[in-house]
A and B are shown apart, each in its own frame.
Chain A
Amino acid sequence: MIGFWRKIYAKHDNVKAYSLLSPALILIILAMVVPMALMLSFSMFTQVSMMEIDYTFTFQRYIDFFQKSLLVTLLIKSIKISFLVTLITLITAYPVCYYIAFYVKKNKMLWLVLLTLPFWTSYLLRVFSWKIILGTKGVINSSLINAGILSEPLTFLMYSETAVVITLTHAWAAFALLPLYVSLEKIDFSLIEAGRDLGLSRLEVFWKITFPLSLPGVIGAILIIFIPTVGDYVTPALLGGIDGRMLSNMIQAYFGKINNIPMGAASATIMLTTVVLITIIVSNVTKKLTQRLT
């Protein structure tokens, strides 16, 4: 009898692999797939009163969502802010990665560790730090006023969309740096030298050789920044004010003060769908871009 099972186990790599994978897969199913399926179901219910939920299936919540201009605005704003943050982070981080990949010879690892070190400290604290920096009585304003450059504090720096974008650009920088660095590092420097040798200017070499080859890292960075940013709660809550609110703040309200679970679930589902759609679009665009460039 043991021999029979032994045979099956020995014969199939599949069996071996899946027995090792089972704890992880069970965790994913029980702690993520099932809860999300339930969340989806709840998005089809109706909150009748504080304690009561009507469990009849309906798509009304989704219709409600798109009829409320506030929610639609928040959704669009969340996407817009995420795009901005992604773009700015990418553009500001790219040169740094380029420098470390091509111009640093010794201790590259050390540079990277130092670069990513700030990000292993509490996210909450970093956001709070920006509150200190950007606030009306904060570092920037008080220094500039004391130095006599300003007579009144700059108000747009706090409780605004601007504050959110600035803070998030800082918050996710490390996530951009790592994948970008990895793909830049893989580029054979002799390709760049060959480009110069063939008469291309520095800029042309960058656009025609370096950048296309670094695309996988760019794409990785885009996804890693964009996805968490869309759903970020802390930054808009701490320094977004009214202007800088994002969808996640609304979702939290639905589960908190407003107590409309189905609406909350529906909003979350819509956020998820948006993220998935954008991810699919980005990967397809990347595939086509890489095909054309290689």
Chain B
Amino acid sequence: MNEKNSTLLIYTLLYFGFLYVPVLFLPIFSFNDADYMSFPLAGFTTEHYEEMWSKRNLHKALWASIKVGVVASVVSTIIALFAAKAFARYKFRGNKISYGAIMMPFLIPEIILAVAILIIWVNLGFKLGLIPVTIGHTLFCTPFAMLILIARIEGFDFSLEEASRDLGENAWGTFFRVSFPLYFPGIIAALLLSFIISFDEFILAFFLTGSDATLPMYMWGQMRFVQRLPHVLALGAVIIVFTTFFVLLAFWLRNVGQEKAKKDIGIKL
């Protein structure tokens, strides 16, 4: 592996460009002093940000997204944590079927999930709103959270839990005093990533929110018909910064946790 391959390197960097440039345009044009998004750039301004700040509907939608995101990420992480423990720790019958079943929301086009939940919700007589969206998001985030947690738990030394039981702790005590502290970085990573997925999610919200908009719904409303809405760009830029921060945090936590755990557990026999 001593060779350097400059063609591949150049290609890779170009590909990076391809991936990043569209994303970077949003912040660029959000400071652009014009209503149209084209080159050449007109001039620097922060007025779009000020405009964004003043829109009440935007704030409502933002708050709705946060509420949904927090509930969905917490619930799906808890559910995924127990499920991940089952898969990583026990050999049992129906292992593969259960795994496939829980992964299913991940393996089906979202629109089908949206349609299905819409039908049952409406026919049960309930109103559309944030609640069915939260249910849908919880369903959709659970497989993601589970993947992260299984990877984390698989590296976990189960004799630590056995030792705790041997020393007199029951199952709950063991969880709180031993398992949870050691899973913690993985749990945080799962929470953060689930939150981001929910925060970002469009199609389930589209079908299920009715009149309570989540943030993606708000953006959709602004984007769909009118071209000249730079304050949406400002919003987009802000979201990009925040999401990036949270993602980096989640990855850092996940890796830091695992490095420490590997060192501490010591001799692997």
What residues of chain A have their CB less than 8 Å away from a CB belonging to chain B?
13-14, 16-18, 20-21, 23-25, 27-28, 31-32, 34-36, 38-39, 42, 92-93, 95-96, 98-100, 102-103, 105, 109, 113-115, 117-118, 120-126, 128-130, 132-133, 135, 137-139, 141-143, 146, 170, 173, 189, 223, 227-228, 230-234, 238, 248, 251-252, 255, 261, 264-265, 268, 271-272, 275, 279
Contacts and interface: CB of A to CB of B under 8 A. Distances in A.
B109 A271 contact: yes
Contacts of B184: none
A95 B18 CA distance: 14
Given A28-B102, A227-B107, 6 more contacts: A14-B90, A95-B11, A95-B12, A103-B9, A124-B219, A233-B203
B25 A129 contact: yes
Given A17-B92, A21-B98, A31-B117, A123 B108 contact: no
A113 B253 CA distance: 13
B243 interface: yes
A128 B23 CA distance: 10
Given A95-B8, A139-B38, A23 B25 contact: no
Nearest to A114: B16
A243 to B, nearest CB: 19
B46 interface: no
B11 A96 contact: yes
B239 A125 contact: yes
Given A17-B90, A25-B101, A132 B82 contact: no
A28 B101 contact: yes
A118 B17 CA distance: 11
A99 B89 CA distance: 35
A139 B26 CA distance: 12
17 contacts: A17-B89, A24-B102, A24-B146, A27-B139, A28-B102, A32-B139, A38-B116, A39-B112, A96-B12, A99-B12, A117-B248, A120-B244, A128-B223, A132-B29, A232-B109, A234-B202, A238-B224
Contacts of B209: none
Contact of B236 (A35, A103, A125): A125
A142 B39 contact: yes
A227 B106 CA distance: 9
B113 A32 contact: yes
Contacts of B12: 95-96, 99-100
Nearest to B86: A20
A89 to B, nearest CB: 11
B119 A261 contact: yes
A268 B115 contact: yes
A138 B37 contact: yes
Contacts, number: 239
A105 B240 CA distance: 29
B194 interface: no
Contacts of A137: 36-38
B39 A271 contact: no
B112 A170 contact: no
Nearest to B254: A109
B196 interface: yes
B4 interface: yes
A186 to B, nearest CB: 15
B196 A120 contact: yes
Contacts of A138: 37-38
Given A109-B255, A125-B239, A189-B1, A38 B112 contact: no
B39 A99 contact: no
B110 A117 contact: no
Contacts of A99: 5, 8-9, 11-12
Contacts of A139: 25, 37-39
A20 B8 contact: no
Contact of B219 (A125, A129, A173, A271): A125
A94 to B, nearest CB: 10
Contacts of A32: 104-105, 113, 116, 139
Contacts of B91: 13
B247 A117 contact: yes
Contact of A124 (B15, B20, B115, B202): B202
A275 B85 contact: no
Interface string B2-33: 01110011011001101111110110010000
